[in-house]
Amino acid sequence: MSTPRPMGLPARPGPEEDFDTDDSVGPTGRPKRFIPPPPRLTGHGPAKVLAMCNQKGGVGKTTSTINLGAALTEYGRKVLLVDFDPQGALSVGLGVAPHQLDCTIYNLIMERGTSMSEVIMKTSLDGMDLLPSNIDLSAAEIQLVTEVGREQTLARTLQPTVDAYDFILIDCQPSLGLLTVNALACSDGVIIPLQCEFFSLRGVALLIDTIEKVRERLNPKLEITGILATMYDPRTLHTREVMARVVEAFGDVVFDTVINRTVRFPETTVAGEPITQWAPRSAGSQAYRALAREVISR
Ligand code: ADP
Ligand code: MG
């Protein structure tokens, strides 16, 4: 990618200790399951489409989209990341300046003449591509209302690319509006990042209700792939209590992997690259690799 690195780049970290030791009980309170490295692929596609979804902002959707995508490429998977938030944070996190783009996912879904090759961008990782977005996409939410088949617009757009990738990850905006419904309507599964803090469970019932409605009315194959606990702080009783409640409420849907709170993630945004590149040996990198193995095995 040709975009210059932003100013004030933090110093690249050295190797860190992985504090995810081999305790037999994981942060979920369940025995840790061993998930072997996934089998090598001999070809690519059709992709499993996963929506990263939670109508609450700041829970780790975008961070998880970038880093899960990056970790999946380390296992030889071809990945397309779809920025489906008009804020364009996913694009920024990959070093793209979204406001400078003439062609984004907005043009792709709203204009018949725009082709995928005009919009799709390579990232700094081999095997990971990006459909960027910017503020233009906010207009689509309104314009789509009068479209025929408005909920399936993104599905129609992504359809021709499905065979070229193993995973398509859609970074949703923090709302349950028409854009998010479009993401759910074309997904095989939903990953719900959930911040380990007291009010995080508020709103999850509404999200699950929306997922069920989309499954009944638009997309019978849609399932909840997993709930991902983010910003976990093993030192506080509070996060451990929240975690216990999440596991109590959702059981095995909760991934064994949790993402600890660490300053490495805000750093990666400034650096414009995934944590697996920025700090490959950090605990955060290891966690997203473990998540990738879980996602492949589900
Ligand atoms: P969302 O897409 O749900 O709004 P983001 O992924 O953008 O959430 O994360 C919100 C903010 O929190 C960002 O500044 C990001 O760098 C930071 N962040 C995300 N995950 C973590 C984490 N595990 N530890 C610390 N900060 C995090
Ligand atoms: Mg986001």
Atom from ligand 1 closest to the CA of residue 259: 23
* Proximal ligand: closest to the CA of 259: 1
Alpha-carbon torsion angle 227, 16, 65, 252, nearest 10: -10
Query: pLDDT tens across 89-99, in order?
Result: 999 999 999 99
Task: Say if ligand 1 is within 6 A of residue 62 CB.
Answer: yes
Report yes or no: 231 and 56 within 8 Å, Cβ to Cβ: no
Residue range 119-145: mean pLDDT, rounded: 96
**Greater pLDDT, 215 or 11:** 215
Phi, psi for residue 194 in degrees, rounded to 5: -130, 125
* Proximal ligand: closest to the CA of 66: 1
Task: Say if ligand 1 is within 6 A of residue 61 CB.
Answer: yes
Domain boundaries, the chain: 48-297
Expressed in angstroms and rounded, the spacing between residue 176 Cα and the centre of ligand 2 is: 13
Q: Which of helix, strand or coil describes residue 230?
A: strand
Residue 19's Cβ-count burial label (10 Å; 0-12, 13-18, 19+) is: exposed
Whether the ω angle into residue 13 lies within 30 degrees of 0, i.e. cis, is no
Pick the residue whose CA is nearest to atom 15 on ligand 1.
Answer: 266
Q: Give the pTM.
A: 0.93
State which H helix or E strand residue 65 sits in.
Answer: helix 61-74
Question: Which residues neighbour 298 within 8 Å (Cβ) at sequence distance 6 or greater?
Answer: 189, 225, 226
Q: Which two tokens stand for residue 219?
A: 């997309």
Report the topology of domain 48-297. Rossmann fold (3.40.50)
Q: Which of helix, strand or coil describes residue 286?
A: helix
Strands (E), the chain: 48-52, 79-84, 121-122, 128-131, 167-172, 189-195, 223-230
Task: Say if ligand 1 is within 6 A of residue 172 CB.
Answer: no
Q: Is the pLDDT of residue 181 over 90?
A: yes
Task: Say if ligand 1 is within 6 A of residue 259 CB.
Answer: yes
Query: pLDDT tens across 34-80, in order?
Result: 888 899 999 999 999 999 999 999 999 999 999 999 999 999 999 99
Residue range 266-283: mean pLDDT, rounded: 92
Expressed in angstroms and rounded, the spacing between residue 148 Cα and the centre of ligand 2 is: 28
